[in-house]
Amino acid sequence: MATTQPHRIRSITEYHQLRGLSGPEHPLVSVINFDDLEQLEGSPTSMVFDYYSIALKRNFGPETRYHYGQRSYDFNEGTMFFIAPGQVFSVEAAAGYRLSGWMLLMHPDFLWNTPLAKTIKQYEYFNYAVHEALFLSEKEEATITALMQNIQQEYRANIDTFSQSLIIAQAELLLTYADRFYHRQFITRKMASHEILGRLESLLDGYFSSNALPDTGLPTVQQVADSLNVSPNYLSGMLKTLTGQSTQQHIHDRLIAKAKEQLSTTALSISEIAYALGFEHSQSFSKLFKSKAGVSPVAFRQSFN
């Protein structure tokens, strides 16, 4: 069966036309109240924007599903989503569905020759899957809404030499608040985070207790994140909050624990242990072991004799 190509929307003006809005007041920046959009009904239509979208969405009904890449999520809480140019998403909505909230659209050309053109790519939440969305309190919603309205007010005023700088400043402040709120979410949603951590431990137990590592090699951060249905950035951010370590460090710690078990309870050679743990060369294993354990595998084994 042929795959339907997503509908690419190259400009903010084109999006306004698609959603039944009048032309944007600024060709490269637009703040939209969802109350003004025409309803979405029926089958999901995949879309790709050529610009950034930052949205605060409320009142998703029970029949509504939001699709982002290969994942989907259904919810009814006030939620923020961050979409970078080139990312695929769609909304599948029931008849009569009404969404509320605000959305900021900003074309990369507006950021040209400003520091934000580079720093916006460093905000990890533009890589987050939808089920890792940012859930806001009422107070946080009010903060984000006010910043979006400030941007709208600025481009509706008479454009002068300060306009772009002031809009960029408000956008940077919005992104910084979103960063703060994401870190708050890592802390306040510990139950969900610990559930993911438990699944991670079980997953790594499976890796290191199987006999597949010689064929598959050590699991990568991407493989682990995919198995847990989260993005690599989200997983590492969560682990750093809970344990102070990145995903890669966590994997290595589990590997060293397994290696210590093998060194202290079996007669396997260093090369055999390295091979069983997915290393092609025992020298690489010995180097990693010493960096983590402070002694070589041989010295560690001798300490038990």
Is residue 31 over pLDDT 90?
Answer: yes
Mean pLDDT of the chain: 82
Domain boundaries of the chain, sorted by first residue: 7-188, 191-302
Residue with more model confidence, 217 or 286? 286
The average pLDDT across 20-27 equals 92
**Which pLDDT does position 26 carry in this prediction?**
94
Taking only the tens place, the pLDDT of each residue in 262-300 is 888 888 899 999 998 888 888 999 999 999 888 999 998
**Which pLDDT does position 211 carry in this prediction?**
79
Is residue 133 over pLDDT 70?
Answer: no
**Which pLDDT does position 72 carry in this prediction?**
53
Query: Which fold does the domain 7-188 belong to in CATH?
Result: Jelly Rolls (2.60.120)
Residue with more model confidence, 149 or 95? 149
**Which pLDDT does position 76 carry in this prediction?**
44
**Which pLDDT does position 60 carry in this prediction?**
56
**Which pLDDT does position 191 carry in this prediction?**
52
* % of the chain exceeding 70 in pLDDT: 80
Is residue 138 over pLDDT 80?
Answer: yes
Q: What is the 3-state secondary structure (H, E, C) of the chain?
A: CCCCCCEEECCHHHHHHHCCCCCCCECCEEEEEHHHCCCCCECCCCEEECCEEEEEEECCCCCCEEEECCEEECCCCCEEEEECCCCEEEEEECCCCCCEEEEEEECHHHHCCCCHHHHHHHCHHHHCCHHHCEECCHHHHHHHHHHHHHHHHHHHCCCCCCHHHHHHHHHHHHHHHHHHHHHHHHHHCHHHHHHHHHHHHHHHHHHHHCCCHHHHCCCCHHHHHHHHCCCHHHHHHHHHHHHCCCHHHHHHHHHHHHHHHHHHHCCCCHHHHHHHCCCCCHHHHHHHHHHHHCCCHHHHHHCCC
Is residue 43 over pLDDT 70?
Answer: no
Taking only the tens place, the pLDDT of each residue in 167-187 is 999 999 999 999 888 877 766
What residues are paired with 31 via a beta bridge? 104
Residue with more model confidence, 29 or 82? 29
The average pLDDT across 212-220 equals 83
Is residue 218 over pLDDT 70?
Answer: yes
* % of the chain exceeding 90 in pLDDT: 32
Taking only the tens place, the pLDDT of each residue in 49-83 is 999 999 998 765 555 566 554 445 544 456 888 88
**Which pLDDT does position 130 carry in this prediction?**
41
Most confident region among 36-45, 73-82, 105-114 by mean pLDDT: 105-114
Query: Which fold does the domain 191-302 belong to in CATH?
Result: Arc Repressor Mutant, subunit A (1.10.10)
